[in-house]
């Protein structure tokens, strides 16, 4: 399949505009804190939400607004999560109403998201004052400002777009994401807003998003903490003019593959920018008895604090990999496990047939000192595989989260 990554992020697809400003939610005036994304026409829409039982009010309101499977706009603030506040639902609905007023659309066509500190009630005054300015600022070039406005402890913006062909029409899927901490497998993702100009039936859109999330964002972990506000939203306005994807088939497969490519790109970027992280970790599991077993193992290894700490220290402590495999809950023949560490500096095999083998510690140190590390696990149980993404655990993670509210 022919995919091409292009510039433009969340507005790369036809018919989308975005903007981001500092409205006053955050004290630091150099940090944008309010983002807006709008489709020129009503779009089919779907979302996946955090599995945390303590859910942010924006997740609840967005879910309600998506009961008709359509949306025109997404408004998102950073700084305050609007979670566990007594007036949370009221404030989230008000954000939608204020956005709708600024855009001249129905409040039910607005989706809302928030990210930041859990607990405080959100002050609507700066949002009310900022939304008309935000709406006036909407443009195709506004994708970068919007991607910046949704950041919290992120150190870099995450925005990507991919282009492909459906039914002879050039289609695009683009997006922006934020997330650096409180990221763990199983939706936990953070926030991710995806747009496409491909025409996709709403039910099909739900299906392809759920399937994609299972193999991408649900395989991402920074610290094992499932956040309260996580959601992935996708809008499909059909402005590319392709025949509507109504069922599984060749066009569905192309669209699903393109969406997966984009989401893997986000997973890698989010993991690499984990709080305090110095290294991107990718864990690839092959030879598992079932897909579920492969996923359990990949998640368990990437989520191991001991393994993450070893990777920070460039210590080839492969026993921690086997330990994580052993408590993953997967059915594994431990005598058939092979483990290797790889990077741009080379590959070092450290475990064969479930036991340690001789290897050069100096060579392993060199391999593990690179910015991107592959933990390659081979099993002898079947033909299934899975991949997960994460980062190392550093002193800075504790420092960042020791004074997060300040």
Per residue in 161-205, pLDDT tens? 999 999 999 999 999 999 866 566 665 557 999 999 999 999 999
φ/ψ (deg, to 5) at 276? 75, 0
Q: What is the pLDDT of residue 273?
A: 84
Residues 6+ apart with CB under 8 A from 385: 284, 285, 286, 287, 288, 291, 294
Q: What pLDDT does residue 405 have?
A: 57
Q: What is the pLDDT of residue 180?
A: 66
The Cα–Cα gap between 380 and 288 comes to: 7
Using CA atoms of 6, 7, 13, 19 in order, give the dihedral in degrees to the nearest 10: 160
Q: Which residues contact 248 (CB under 8 A, 6 or more apart)?
A: none
The structure tokens listed for 43 are 């779009």
Across residues 353-377, what is the average pLDDT? 98
Domain span(s) for CATH 3.60.70.12 in the chain: 4-269
Dihedral class, residue 176 (left if φ above 0, else alpha if ψ from -120 to 50, else beta):
beta
Q: What is the pLDDT of residue 165?
A: 97
Q: Over 60: is that where the pLDDT of 406 sits? A: no
Burial of 311 (0-12, 13-18, 19+ CB in 10 A): buried
Q: Are 328 and 337 in contact, with CB atoms under 8 Å apart?
A: no
Mark whether 189 is an active-site residue. yes
Per-residue pLDDT, averaged over 100-129, amounts to: 96
What token pair was written down for 287?
A: 């030879």
For residues 2 and 16, the model is more confident at: 16
| Per-residue pLDDT at 140 | 98
Give the C-alpha separation, 71 to 269, whole Å: 27
285-303 confidence digits (pLDDT tens):
999 999 999 999 999 999 9
- HSE-CB at 291 with a 13 A cutoff on CA atoms is 3
Taking the model in full, what pTM does it have?
0.92
Least confident of 9-13, 80-84, 188-192, 205-209: 188-192
Lowest mean pLDDT among 66-75, 149-158, 204-213: 149-158
Among residues 62, 189, 212, 228, the one annotated as catalytic is: 189
Q: Where in the chain is CATH 3.10.20.340?
A: 280-402
**Alpha carbon 328 to chain centroid distance?**
23
Cβ(198)–Cβ(240) below 8 Å: yes
Q: What is residue 228's predicted lDDT score, i.e. its pLDDT? A: 80
Backbone angles phi, psi at 253, to 5 degrees: -65, -40
For the cut 80, the answer to whether the pLDDT of residue 404 exceeds it is: no
Between 321 and 226, the more confident residue is 321
Residue 225 is given by DSSP the state P
The whole-number average pLDDT for the span 225-240 is 90
Q: Give the CATH fold of the 280-402 domain.
A: Ubiquitin-like (UB roll) (3.10.20)
Could you read off the pLDDT of 133-148 as tens digits, one per residue? 999 999 999 999 999 9
β-partners of residue 93 are none
Instruction: Read off the pLDDT band of 55 (50, 70, 90).
Output: confident
pLDDT for 398: 80
pLDDT at residue 249 tops 80: yes
* Percent residues over pLDDT 90 in the chain: 84
End-to-end CA distance of the chain: 47
The dihedral sign for the CA sequence 324, 327, 328, 331? positive
CA distance 86 to 392: 37
pLDDT for 183 = 61
Distance (Å, whole) CA 187 – CA 256: 19
Token digits for 68?
């008709």
Out of 3.10.129.10, 3.60.70.12, 3.40.190.80, 3.90.199.10, select the CATH number for domain 4-269: 3.60.70.12
Q: What is the mean pLDDT of residues 50-65?
A: 91
The pLDDT assigned to 336 comes to: 98
| Dist. CA 56–CA 84, nearest whole Å | 7
Q: What is the mean predicted confidence (pLDDT) over 82-103?
A: 97
CB 297 within 8 A of CB 386: yes
């Amino acid at each position: 399949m022919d995919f091409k990554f292009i510039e433009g992020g969340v507005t790369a697809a036809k018919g989308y505009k975005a903007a981001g400003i500092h409205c006053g939610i955050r004290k630091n005036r150099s940090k944008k804190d309010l983002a807006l994304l709008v489709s020129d026409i009503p779009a089919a829409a779907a979302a996946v939400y955090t599995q945390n039982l303590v859910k942010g009010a924006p997740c609840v309101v967005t879910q309600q607004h998506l009961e008709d499977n359509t949306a025109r706009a997404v408004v998102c603030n950073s700084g305050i999560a609007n979670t566990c506040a007594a007036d949370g639902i009221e404030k989230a609905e008000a954000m939608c109403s204020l956005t709708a007023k600024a855009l001249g659309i129905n409040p039910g066509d607005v989706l809302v998201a928030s990210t930041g500190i859990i607990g405080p009630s959100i002050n609507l005054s700066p949002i009310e004052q900022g939304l008309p300015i935000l709406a006036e600022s909407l443009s195709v070039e506004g994708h970068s400002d919007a991607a910046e406005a949704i950041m919290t402890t992120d150190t870099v913006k995450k925005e990507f777009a991919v282009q492909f062909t459906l039914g002879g029409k050039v289609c695009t899927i683009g997006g922006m994401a934020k997330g650096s901490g409180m990221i763990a497998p199983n939706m936990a993702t953070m926030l991710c807003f995806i747009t496409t100009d491909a025409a996709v039936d709403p039910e099909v859109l739900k299906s392809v998003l759920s399937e994609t999330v299972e193999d991408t964002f649900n395989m991402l972990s920074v610290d094992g903490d499932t956040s309260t506000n996580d959601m992935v939203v996708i809008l499909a306005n059909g402005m590319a003019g392709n025949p509507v994807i109504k069922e599984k088939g060749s066009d569905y497969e192309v669209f699903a593959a393109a969406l997966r490519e984009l989401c893997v790109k986000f997973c890698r970027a989010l993991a690499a920018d984990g709080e305090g992280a110095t290294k991107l970790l990718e864990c690839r599991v092959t030879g598992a008895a079932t897909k579920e077993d492969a996923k359990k193992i990949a998640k368990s290894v990437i989520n191991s604090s001991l393994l993450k700490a070893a990777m920070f220290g460039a210590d080839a402590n492969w026993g921690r990999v086997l330990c994580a495999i052993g408590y993953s809950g997967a059915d594994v023949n431990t005598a058939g496990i092979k483990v290797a560490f790889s990077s741009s500096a080379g590959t070092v095999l450290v475990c064969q047939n479930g036991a340690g083998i001789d290897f050069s510690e100096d060579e392993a140190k060199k391999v593990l000192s690179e910015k991107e590390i592959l933990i390659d696990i081979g099993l002898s149980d079947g033909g299934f595989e899975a991949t997960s993404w994460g980062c190392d655990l550093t002193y800075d993670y504790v420092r960042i989260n020791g004074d997060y509210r300040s």
